[in-house]
Amino acid sequence: GGGGGGEGGGGDGAAGGGKEEKKKTANETPASLPPGWTVEVRGRSTAYVSPDGMTHFSTLAKVQRYHKQQMALAERFQQQQQRHAEAKKREKEKEALEQKQKQKQGGASGGE
């Protein structure tokens, strides 16, 4: 089951606050289908296709299990990113401080 790539679709407002429109379309997407997923009907079989088009499942249960995993991964990834960003920020601040100190000591170095 290939390429579970990309960041999990931003979690806010994904579950629409109880506003369910009862519109029947030719290929009705189940309410329990994660946002962005599409349903493809191929003859008698139905395929659920991920937003990036890379991942296909034959049952909704598989889609939901996969989506749950992706959301968990995305959350973990986000936490890592935040930690990484904070570390980078601290590094930058440290560098900036060092630069200021260097400027104080050396003044304008280099010829005209």
Write out the chain's pLDDT in tens, 112 residues.
645 444 444 444 444 444 444 444 445 677 889 999 999 998 999 999 999 999 999 999 999 999 999 999 999 999 999 999 999 999 999 999 999 999 888 766 566 6
Rounded to whole angstroms, how far apart are CA atoms 96 and 49? Answer: 47
Q: Which residues contact 26 (CB under 8 A, 6 or more apart)?
A: none
pTM over 0.75, yes/no: no
The token pair at 75 is: 């959350």
Give the separation between CA 43 and CA 76, rounded to whole angstroms.
39
The alpha helices in 1-112, defined as continuous H runs, are 60-106
